[in-house]
Amino acid sequence: MLWGKTHSFHRFVDTQLRDLRERYGLSLWMLIRKTGDDWRLLRSNGSGYALTTGEHFRWPEARGRTGPSIHTNAGVLLDAEAHSPPYPVNRPMKVGACLRLPLYGDGDRLLAVLCALDPEPQPHLTEQLLPSLQRQAFLLETALSWNLSLLNQQRVSDFLEDDGRDPDTGILDVTGWSRILEKERQRCRNYGLGATILRLHGTGLERCDRRQRLADSLAALVREQDMVAYLGHGQFAILLAETSIMQSLRMRARILDALAAKDLPVVCEPESLILNSGALQPEVLLHSAVH
């Protein structure tokens, strides 16, 4: 198996979920990804629930119990009668039994949960199963952590290999920017991630030397995994990988302060990366840049 390849990671996860279902029962097995406060279905295997990849979940606090359940720590749950199952946003489900095992990354950061559901109670879901289930969860945890650790390397490689460059500034042009966006959208869909775009424009950028100064300044201010593009007509964009809107506002403030100190004032606004393939972003700027 070729680790680091998205399709290989998905094959591995799909195989693990299928094996877990065949070995332990329960109708549906899922890998649910956690990013910030968001829970999103990454992969699943089973039947009985009409769920789709990318669906958002909530996990309620445990309610009063009338049957046995096992909480070995804050994250592990074996609930034979499913008193507090996860559920898709705005859609109820019949759940009779629930299993939840957390998957952690570096620094004990919660990355995902391995979850199984069944419409009916499952009396066999006992503490004796926990050691073997945790070993299976560890395999998924290792694969997910390892693949996530490679994403920044992939982003840098994508940038270096893309020949869509603005001849005056050397950064991405509209064509290169569009390709980079599509690759980042695919990563977001594959691993349950999000990203933010910063839209920038200002006055005096019709002058080549001023555009070059701004391009060089932006390239020096962003992280290695972030991408800067010149879209034409004095308009720039930055793709901030694995960044929420709230996080991007802090980056925006730092960029504006640094550019103001260099006498390069710009207007800068964030927008979330749309994950639909082919979506033009930033839409307002691209409309004037390409027409």
Give the pLDDT confidence of 175-207 residue by residue, as tens digits: 999 999 999 999 999 898 999 999 999 888 878
Is pLDDT above 70 for 70? no
pLDDT in tens, 228-247: 999 988 899 999 999 999 99
Whole-number Å distance between alpha carbons of 276 and 186: 9
The angle subtended at Cα 84 by Cα 82 and Cα 88, nearest 5°, is 100
CA distances from 195 to 51, 217, 240, 248 (A): 24, 21, 6, 9
pLDDT in tens, 34-61: 887 778 899 999 988 878 888 887 765 4
pLDDT band at 86 (very low <50, low <70, confident <90, very high): low
Predicted local distance difference test score (pLDDT) of residue 120:
86
Which two tokens mark 212?
Answer: 């070059």
Residues 101/113, Cβ–Cβ less than 8 Å: yes
49-76 average pLDDT score: 57
β strands within the chain, DSSP E: 28-35, 38-46, 56-58, 69-70, 77-79, 87-88, 97-104, 110-118, 195-201, 227-232, 235-241, 267-272
% helix, strand, coil for the chain, step of 5: 40, 25, 35
Q: Which domains occur in the chain, in start order? A: 6-149 (3.30.450.40), 152-290 (3.30.70.270)
* Best CA proximity match to 36, nearest among 221, 248, 211: 248
Over the chain, what is the mean pLDDT? 84
Instruction: Let me know if 216 is exposed, middle or buried by CB neighbors in 10 A (0-12, 13-18, 19+).
Output: middle
Strands 97-104 vs 110-118: parallel, antiparallel or unpaired? antiparallel
Whole-number Å distance between alpha carbons of 267 and 149: 33
Peptide bond into 282 cis (omega under 30): yes
Whole-number Å distance between alpha carbons of 258 and 262: 7
Predicted local distance difference test score (pLDDT) of residue 290:
43
Which two tokens mark 227?
Answer: 């991408």
Q: Taking phi first (over 0 means left), then psi (-120 to 50 degrees means alpha), and beta for anything else, what does residue 206 get? A: alpha
Is pLDDT above 60 for 23? yes
Is pLDDT above 80 for 66? no
Measured between its terminal Cα atoms, the distance across the chain in Å is 45
pLDDT in tens, 127-184: 888 899 999 999 999 999 999 999 999 999 999 999 999 999 999 999 999 999 999 9
